[in-house]
Structure 1
Amino acid sequence: MSIHNLLICCIAVVLSAAPARAQNLSWQQVEPGIWKAKAGKPEAYDLLTASGAEPREEGLTEMGDSSFPLPADEITARVVDGQTYLRFPLDRKEQLYGFGLNFKTVHQRGRILRLHVDHYGGEDNGRTHAPTPFYVSSKGYGVFINSARYIKVYAGTAARKDSEDPPVARDRNTDPDWTSRPYSDSVEMLVPAEGAEVYIFGGPTPLDAVRRYNLFNGGGPLPPRWGLGFTQRVHRLYSAEDIRQEAEAFAERGYPLDFIGLEPGWQSKSYPGTFEWDGGRFPEPRTFVREMLDKGIRLNLWINPYVSPDASFADSIAPYTASHTVWAGMVPDFNTREGRNIFFSQLEENQVDRGVSGYKIDEVDGYDRWVWPDVATFPSGVTAEQMRQTYGLLVQRYSEDMFEKRNRRTFGLVRASNGGGTSFPYVIYNDYYNHRNFITALINSSFSGVLWTPEVRASETGEEWLRRVQSVVFSPMAMINAWSSGTKPWSFAEVEQEVREMFRLRMRMMPYWYSEYAKYHFKGIPPFRAMNLEEGFRSGLKMEATEKGLEENPYAEAVRKEINDQYMAGEYLLVAPMFEGQESREVVLPDGRWYDFYTGNYVGESEIITVSPGLDKIPVFVKDGGIIPMMPARMHAPGAGEKVNIQVRHYGEKAGSYLLYDDDGLTYDYEDGEYQFREIRVEKAQDGRWEGTIAPAEKNKPNTVGEVSWRFMPP
């Protein structure tokens, strides 16, 4: 080789090894307050493609526009060796929230995560049921990466040498403020693909950014009214007769019940499943389902999607399944039309058309040791990694389609979701069972566009049982899932009366819960949300230091104890769960005056209070002017078109207003305008007495409101 050619080769090698120059992104406004950019060459298959999410235009238009919330020239991207490097600026005073369904931490600044769908393993490291690549800043904006890959996140942990605001080098020998975690002025992400779509969501508040994200993904689900009642899951080998007796026991003891969950034994075989009724335990499934419906109780069936060789459709679906199996069951490729048609058509024929109301879709999350490996292949050409990140989205999407085609709403359970899945009528659950962490997950769900239930399973004591029941009453799904231990709501005689009263409270509050879900659907407001999304909340009130400060880091939240055990429930309620062994607890009140939910008594304003509610109550507080519509306690949710009397509670010294939502409670007709919001107002008359009014019902719209009475708290 000549010297000339050798020099050319050496130059080529050097150039190929040089890192790609960071490029500024070109931003296009796609919705009010929402911008999109393409880094590199985004893949055709991504989270939004898998979910089929479509923006709720009316809600976004109603929110109005906002200015681009970040300095665009400080957002950069570069593609190197088939991977995309993203960088977003971060101010010293910012705190970050989100990055998926975390169970232990609310503040995410200073964390390193790998966003990976998995069963939660006890550590907030990015492997979780919904590793949504969306984060929210305390400055009032959000960032979403639309990629179905395992994304590595450095949330304010990596300091670049070319930073305009670098950390100061300190001498560990002599400087008491030396830290192993120097200040970082950016969020950096590594996407293992040659490109990705990036979205920015404007504010001006963190809640506004969350709302825009939710509305961009279709708005939250609007469950049927029965979905907001209580559900009991029964033993995996229960027969139709066992279930009848279970329902009768609830009725005899005065416990409300709206739907019963059947575990794997309803099938002739499970793990993997046949998806066919077991003829011995359920000899006449159609008759059984109809009988339960006639009693006001719906049925929810456990499945996982792995097909047994003994399933009647095994041979026909085999060509549309993955190269690897799960528990010796075939894994359907729902990105093939044939695969999903074969799988879901048999569910329609054998269950949905017989009156089954929903599903609990298990094991679409992980663990690595039994789910398909990343070396698996799928007929659609979607990689195993992408399928892992989106399988929960696919099963939600196509199972809801079955019910939507029949104009029947559903509300079920699933083990995995991701970005784009906000609108699906499913609540996430798992087998991890830490009460405190369950509440933190409920808080974090509001940053991730998902719903989470702190379900009740086994308990060692009556106190623990009651405390867990209290939490699910103030959660997205009131579920008792103690089938394995055999624990019933009445198993602990010493707290049976208190447990029953909590069941009844859930039913009495149904008008409030239903209205809050409607606001999630139409306005994007999470029905259960973090205190950090509440106007006037100052977590800095709780100034208990957890560690020495980060490098020259003046923002208090990073060095103070975060609030991960209280949350907002709907527009007006602050919930502060009690845990076993607690006789009292602290509650951080946001700005404004707050009142006790049960008595109406004033409790405080912009301060930390200590409460000792006793065993029979979960601490709940109402903001000044709060309005809570309630109904009489019932054994089942109201049926379609059934009128129910409403009692409107008003708290505090301020006038208040509330939007009460109404539709038929069962169908999707609300999507065609068959609904109404009626404004409730409470104001003082000239003589100083409180007066309440409710807007008249619109003509030719659903109207299930009977007589309206008023209760001004304290009474």
Structure 2
Amino acid sequence: MQKILIILLLLLCSQAKAQPIQWKEQYPGVWKGTFGQPEKYTLLSAADSKPRAATLEQLQSTDFPFPKMEVHAELIDGKTYVRMPLTKNEQIYGLGLNFQTVHQRGKILNLHVDHYGGKDNGRTHAPVPFYVSSKGYGVLVNSAQYLTYYVGTGVRKDAKEPAEPKDRNTDKSWNSRPYSDAVEIYIPAAGVEIYVFAGINPLDAIKRYNLFCGGGTLPPRWGLGFTQRVQKLYTAQEVLNEAAQFEEHGFPLDFIGLEPGWQSRAYPCTFEWDKGRFPDPAALIKKLATKGIRLNLWTNPYISPEAGISKAIEPYTGSHTVWNGTVPDLNHPEAKKILAKQFMDAQLNIGVSGYKMDEVDGYDYYLWPDMAKFPSGISGIQMRQTYGVLAQKLTDSLYRNQNKRTYGLVRASNAGANNLPYVIYNDYYSHQDFITALVNSGFCGVLWTPEVRGSKTGQEWLRRFQSVVFSPMAMINAWSSGTKPWSFPEVADQVKYYAQLRMELMPYLYSEFAKYHFDGTPPFRAMVLEEGFQGQAKAVAGNQDLETNPYLEAVNREVKDQYMCGEYILVAPLFAGESSRKVLLPKGNWYDFYTGKYVGNGEEIVANPDMDRIPVYVKDGGIIPMMGSRLHTPLPNEKVDLTIRHYGEKEGNYQLYDDDGVSFDYEKGSYVWRRVLVKKDEKGSLSGEMSKPQPGKPNTFGRVQFEFMTK
């Protein structure tokens, strides 16, 4: 009898370990899978983002992207193991903010929030555990633990599509990494939530993921202008002098970033103004405001013993310190309350517009260890994976309470933070890798800026400046060297041209961010997400193709140095030392942004622009709404005249977004989409029109004229 009971218990345990994932459709094309006992604290619960349910409900229904029985989950030593199917010719994108690779098949990634260290191994500023397949679906593992992904690397004996054994001595096609038909995920928890997003193509799957996480952020208009970060020990007068220099040189400027010296103590921080350098910060902010300039403050969350709030917040801090400063538990209501009051009293109430949240990512040797404890009961690992998100949430909530939008910088983020108004940056330096990160950001619901850093030559300075114009934040971050836009006289005019171009493009960029918020379309995204793009399918190994060797897909040529900026613009940056480059065009006619001339259709071209240009192209029928060049973004009720460019020979249409540009009133319906149409008459001549303003809706547009670029 005893033996029978033991056998029954063993069978029950075995069945518990092998239980299937329970799937439930949440919205059209969005399924939630539950296995075992998922942890209560997850990435999505930390971000506390609310799905854009009304939009999701209207999306086209799609089938589950593969047989549910092919998704395997089991417990191994109290930890969860998940296996997702992969097919031949299927590529995987995403899995965090990677800096050097776009294709992730064939990689092993340990997803871990950290300062990027120069290698795509999963340790990065935003290790978002979401991937999208070239087959048009996405998968999110909703866990705040460190996760290990084997992306088509492990080969099981019972594989559905096993690789053919080959002899290395005689077969030139032998590969040390055999073909694998699965994405295998190791989650150090006794259960997990998995979300599958099925779309009609990869971009559609990403849109559903973004909408499920609340939609993308919609920054204030001023956030899309230029920002200059000043040297760390600047005084109030030096800040005013810097603003005056920008105006004298005719360079746009919308917000200035102060580095650590604004605080009385930094590393760790007091969150209090240094009375010597900034005797009257409120007066400084008012003076800058009269010039149309806002103020952004650097900080990190680690509290100096000399801070006024140090004693009060100490009971709500972690077991370990950072730079001998306590670590506030940003999941504890009392810690958040104390910090919020300090931010409000000392900064927001006098007009500070936003923050740069530094050092919420890594390194291991200065952040708390994994065994650290926090009063809320959240583990050190879970806190590490979500601390950047928690910092974003806290500050964003303060601005929301004032009905003011903010736009800032952060060094760490994760899944679910898609709608938080922060752009990721770091202390890395490679311009090329910055562009690859911008390409990858669109896969995982985060924003990244390829900031303008200190440069050795005028050409490098110009090349960095040109690419930052086509990015989420036009940031000049050369505070350490003190380099100014005009510091290299030989390229000062070219730099000014691109600075002015950024301002002219604001109606287009603002509309593209509105699409990010309302329908989930990333404003900056990889070429593989563009319809008609075939560049990713080119193999590199002799005459082999993907049918004879499916694993080639993982080593194909990656297109990681060009990207889409909004609906119509293709950007192909140049780097220091380059005067020409190859550009892969999607199918369809494409035209030079600057001249309107035809450049190609679905082919690889060689771009040889003048020194003062980088290759930028517009698809046939493309409509680009632009405003006049100016030093600061328009005021909330200010009307601006529009020049609407049209490229190519096709008729075109565009949805131009408008709201007050600063508040959250758009969430209550105070916004409008203005339809722009370009049509052909019977003789083939083009003409344009824009829909009229709607009564009771925002209207910040004045006179409208059309410019047909292709003659």
For Structure 1 versus Structure 2, the TM-score category normalised by the shorter chain is over 0.9
CA separation of 1:712 and 1:119: change in aligned 2, threshold 3 A? same
How far apart are the structure 1 equivalents of 2:61 and 2:173? 43
Question: Match for residue 355 of structure 1?
Answer: 351
Q: Match for 1:52: what amino acid?
A: D
Instruction: Identify the residue that residue 149 of structure 1 maps to in structure 2.
Output: 145
Q: Any residues of structure 2 matched to 1:480-491 within 5 Å, and which?
A: 480-491=476-487
For each residue in 1:148-180, what CA deviation from the matched residue of structure 2 results, as whole angstroms up to 9, or x when unmatched? 000000001111111121112222232222211
Residue in 2 that maps onto 1:168: 164
Which moved further from structure 2: 354-363 or 689-698? 689-698
Q: Give the Cα–Cα distance (whole angstroms) in 1 for the partners of residues 398 and 324 of structure 2.
A: 27
Cα distance in 2 for partners of 1:26, 1:541 equals 35
1:402-413 equivalent positions in 2, closer than 5 A: 402-413=398-409
C-alpha distance in structure 2 between counterparts of 1:435 and 1:267, whole Å: 31
Which runs of 5 or more residues in structure 2 are unaligned?
Answer: none
> How far, CA to CA, are the matches of 2:431 and 2:373 in structure 1?
38
* Counterpart code for 1:328: N
Give, in angstroms, the shift of residue 550 of structure 1.
Answer: 8.9
The answer on whether the counterparts of 1:683 and 1:692 sit within 8 Å (CA) in structure 2 is yes
Deviation at 1:653, TM superposition (A): 0.7
Q: Which residue of 1 aligns with 2:500?
A: 504
Q: Aligned to 2:676, which of 676, 680, 687? A: 680
Deviations 1:552-585 (A, max 9, x none): 5336533421101000000000000001111210
Match of 2:255 in 1: 259
In the aligned structure 2, how far is the partner of 1:35 from the partner of 1:18? 26
* Amino acid in the other structure paired with 1:632: G
Which residue identity is paired with 1:151? L
Aligned sequence identity (%): 59
Query: Which is worse superposed, 57-66 or 681-690?
Result: 57-66
Q: Does 1:70 align with 2:66?
A: yes
1:268 aligns with 2:264: yes
Q: 1:220 — aligned with what?
A: 216
Q: Work out the CA distance in 1 between the residues paired with 2:264 and 2:542.
A: 53
Q: Which runs of 5+ in 1 are unaligned?
A: none
Give the CA deviation at 1:390.
Answer: 0.3
Matched residue type, 1:617: R
CA distance in structure 1 between the partners assigned to 2:241 and 2:6 by the alignment: 81
Residue 446 of structure 1 and its aligned partner are, at CA, apart by 0.4
Residue 180 to residue 18, structure 1, CA distance change in 2 (3 Å): farther
Q: Which amino acid aligns with 1:86?
A: V
Please, which of 44, 48, 51 is the counterpart of residue 47 of structure 2? 51
Aligned to 2:660: 664
1:279-290 equivalence runs, <5 A: 279-290=275-286
Say if 2:528 and 2:536, in contact at 8 Å, map to a contact too.
no
Q: For 1:206-240, what per-residue CA distance to the aligned partner results, in whole angstroms no more than 9, with x for missing partners?
A: 00000000000000111000000000000000010
Deviation at residue 662 of structure 1 after TM alignment: 0.2
Distance 2:211 2:697 in 1: 24
Would you identify which runs of 4 or more consecutive aligned residues in structure 1 move more than 6 Å? 7-20, 546-551
2:592 counterpart letter in structure 1: D
Q: How far apart in 1 are the matches of 2:32 and 2:149? A: 20
* Contact residue 219 and residue 513 of structure 2 kept, 8 A: yes
Work out whether residues 129 and 428 of structure 1, in 8 Å CA contact, stay in contact via their aligned partners in 2: yes
Kept after mapping to 2: 8 A contact 1:181/1:550: no
Paired AA for residue 479 in structure 2: W
1:81 to partner: Cα distance: 1.9
Match of 1:631 in 2: 627
1:23 Cα offset (Å)? 3.3
CA distance in 1, matches of 2:671, 2:271: 36
CA drift at 1:540: 4.4
1:140/1:206 contact within 8 Å kept: yes
Q: Look up the match of 1:133.
A: 129
Q: Distance in 2 between matches of 1:271 and 1:301?
A: 14
SS state at 1:152 partner: strand
Equivalent of 1:244 in 240, 243, 262: 240
Report the Cα distance in structure 2 between the residues aligned to 1:247 and 1:61, rounded to whole angstroms.
48
Partner of 1:400: 396
Q: How does 1:157-196 map to 2 (within 5 A)?
A: 157-196=153-192
Indicate yes or no: 2:293 matched with 1:325. Answer: no
Change (3 A) 1:541 1:72: closer
- Report the TM-score, using the length of structure 2 for normalisation: 0.97
Aligned-partner SS, 1:568: strand
Q: Partner of 1:323: helix, strand, or coil? A: strand
Deviation for aligned residue 1:542: 4.8
Instruction: Report the equivalent of 2:302.
Output: 306
Once the 2 structures are TM-superposed, how far is the Cα of residue 63 of structure 1 from its aligned partner?
Answer: 2.5
Q: In structure 1, what residue type is equivalent to 2:486?
A: W
Are 1:111 and 2:107 counterparts?
yes
- 1:468 is aligned, of 464, 469, 480, to 464
Distance 2:203 2:520 in 1: 9
1:661 match: secondary structure: strand
| Cα distance in 2 between the residues matched to 1:600 and 1:541 | 29
> Cα deviation per residue 1:651-677 (whole Å; 9 max; x = unaligned)?
001000000000000100000000000
- The answer on 1:442 being equivalent to 2:438 is yes
Instruction: Confirm whether residue 375 of structure 1 aligns to residue 371 of structure 2.
Output: yes
CA contact (8 A) 2:536 2:559 kept: no
**Structure 2 counterpart of 1:293, from 284, 289, 294:** 289
* Residue pair 2:537, 2:553 contacting (<8 A) in 1 also: no
**SS across alignment from 2:269:** coil
Change (3 A) 1:481 1:19: farther
Closer, same or farther: CA 108–546 of 1 in aligned 2, 3 Å: farther
1:616/1:402 CA distance change after superposition, 3 Å: same
Question: Hey, what does 1:567 align to over in structure 2?
Answer: 563
**C-alpha distance in structure 2 between counterparts of 1:21 and 1:361, whole Å:** 42
Question: Which residue of 1 is the match for residue 525 of structure 2?
Answer: 529
Contact conserved, 1:82 with 1:193, CA < 8 A, in 2? yes
Give the whole-Å Cα distance in 2 for the aligned partners of 1:22 and 1:551: 34
Summarize the Cα distance change of 1:44–1:593 in structure 2 as closer, same or farther, 3 Å threshold: same
Instruction: Give, in angstroms, the shift of residue 12 of structure 1.
Output: 10
Q: 2:79 aligns with which of 74, 77, 83?
A: 83
The answer to whether the Cα contact below 8 Å between 1:296 and 1:636 also exists between their aligned partners in 2 is yes
* 1:33 maps to 2:29: yes
Match of 1:553 among 523, 532, 549: 549
How far apart, CA to CA, are the structure 2 residues paired with 1:18 and 1:62?
42
Distance 1:451 1:411, change over 3 A: same
Q: Which amino acid aligns with 1:519?
A: K
* Deviation digits for residues 250-288 of structure 1 (CA, Å, limit 9, x no counterpart): 000000000000000000000000000000000011111
Q: How far, CA to CA, are the matches of 2:568 and 2:552 in structure 1? A: 27
The one-letter code sitting in structure 2 at the alignment partner of 1:478 is A
1:631 shift after superposition: 0.3
* Shift, 1:398, TM fit: 1.1
1:710 maps onto 2:711 in alignment? no
Q: Mark the CA change 1:537 to 1:22 in structure 2 (over 3 Å): closer, same or farther.
A: farther
Q: Contact (CA 8 Å) 1:23, 1:76: kept in 2 or not?
A: no
| Cα distance, 1:130 vs structure 2 | 0.3
Distance change >3 Å, CA 214–CA 64, structure 1 → 2: same
Amino acid at match of 2:458: G
Do the aligned residues in 2 keep the contact of 1:179 with 1:550 (CA within 8 Å)? Answer: no
Residues 508, 87 of structure 1: alpha-carbon distance in 2 compared, 3 angstrom cutoff: same
CA RMSD of aligned residues (A): 1.9
Separation in 1, partners of 2:581, 2:538: 13
Contact 1:540–1:556 (CA<8 Å) still a contact in 2?
Answer: no
Matched, 1:202 2:198: yes
The 1:541–1:551 alpha-carbon spacing in structure 2 relative to 1, beyond 3 Å, is closer
Give the 3 Å change call, closer, same or farther, for CA 546–300 of structure 1 in structure 2: farther
Paired residue type of 2:566: G
In 2: Cα distance, 1:229 partner to 1:200 partner: 36
Alpha-carbon distance between aligned partners in 1 of 2:4 and 2:539, rounded to the nearest angstrom: 63
Q: Does the residue aligned with 1:322 lie in a helix, a strand or coil?
A: strand
Given that 1:183 and 1:551 are in contact with CA atoms closer than 8 Å, whether structure 2 keeps it comes out as no
Which whole-Å CA distance do the structure 2 matches of 1:541 and 1:597 have between them? 27
